[in-house]
Chains A and B, each alone.
Chain A
Amino acid sequence: MVKFKENGKKILLAHGSGGRLTHELIKDFVKRFQNPILAKLDDSAVLKVEGRLAFTTDSYVVDPIYFPGGDIGKLAVNGTINDLSMVGARPLYLSASAIIEEGFPIGDLERIVDSMERAARLAKVEIVAGDTKVVEKGGVDKIFINTSGIGVVESGVDISSGNGRVGDRIILSGTIGDHGIAILSARERFDFQTEVKSDSQPLNGIVLEILKVSKKIHVLRDPTRGGLATALNEIAQQSGVGIEIEEEKIPVKEGVRGVCEMLGFDPLYIANEGKLVAFVPEKDSMKVLNAMRKNRCGKNAQIIGSVVKGHKGKVVVRTGVGGERILDMLSGEQLPRIC
Chain B
Amino acid sequence: MKLIDEFRDGRIAERIVSKIEEFGSSKVNLMEVCGTHTMVIFKYGLKGMLPENINLLSGPGCPVCVTTQEDIDKVIGLVKEEGVIITTFGDMLRVPGTDSSLEQEKGNGADIRIVYSPVEALRTARENRDKRVIFLAVGFETTSPLIAASLLDARRDKVKNFFIFCTHKLIPPAMEALLMSKEVKIDGFICPGHVSVAIGSEAYRFIVKKYGVPCVIGGFEPLDVLQSVFMLLKQIKEKEAEVEIEYFRAVRPEGNKIAQKLISEVFEVTDVEWRGLGVIPQSGLKLRARFSNFDAEREFQPKVRKARRNRECICGEVLRGVKKPVDCTLYARICTPEKPYGPCMVSSEGTCAAYYKYGGL
Residues of A within 8 A of B (CB): 189, 191, 248, 254, 257-258, 261, 263-264, 314, 316-326, 328, 331-332, 335-339
Contact = CB atoms under 8 A, between A and B. Distances in A.
A314 B8 CA distance: 25
5 contacts: A321-B222, A322-B13, A322-B14, A323-B45, A338-B143
Interface residues of B, number: 46
B315 interface: no
B116 A338 contact: yes
Contact of B347 (A191, A248, A339): A339
Interface in B323-361: 336-338, 347-349, 356-361
Contact of A319 (B43, B89, B347): B43
A257 B2 CA distance: 12
Instruction: Across the A-B interface, give the 5 residue pairs with the lowest CB-CB distance, nearest first.
Output: A323-B45, A335-B90, A331-B337, A321-B222, A325-B358
B40 to A, nearest CB: 10
Contact of A191 (B89, B93, B120, B349): B120
Contacts of A338: 89-91, 116-117, 139, 143
Contact of A258 (B1, B35, B44, B49): B1
A335 B338 contact: no
Contacts of A264: 348
Nearest to B360: A326
Contacts of B361: 316, 324-326
A337 B337 contact: no
A323 B13 CA distance: 9
A318 B13 CA distance: 14
A191 B336 CA distance: 32
B116 A339 contact: no
Nearest to B90: A335
A11 to B, nearest CB: 27
Given A191-B116, A321-B10, A331-B338, A339 B91 contact: yes
B20 interface: no
Nearest to A248: B10
B334 to A, nearest CB: 15
Given A321-B8, A321-B222, A331-B338, A326 B359 contact: yes
Contact of B43 (A254, A314, A325): A325
Interface in B81-106: 89-91, 93-94
Contacts of A320: 8, 10, 44
Interface in B148-205: none
Given A264-B348, A322-B17, A326-B361, 8 more contacts: A189-B120, A261-B1, A317-B45, A321-B9, A325-B45, A328-B356, A335-B93, A335-B114
Given A321-B223, A323-B44, A324-B48, A339 B349 contact: yes
B21 to A, nearest CB: 14
Given A258-B1, A316-B361, A320-B8, A336 B90 contact: yes
B145 interface: no
A248 B89 CA distance: 30
B245 interface: no
Contacts of B336: 331
B282 to A, nearest CB: 23
Contacts of B60: none
Contacts of B337: 331-332
A201 B143 CA distance: 41
A317 B63 CA distance: 28
A206 B304 CA distance: 60
A325 B1 contact: no
B89 A337 contact: yes
Contact of B89 (A189, A258, A339): A339
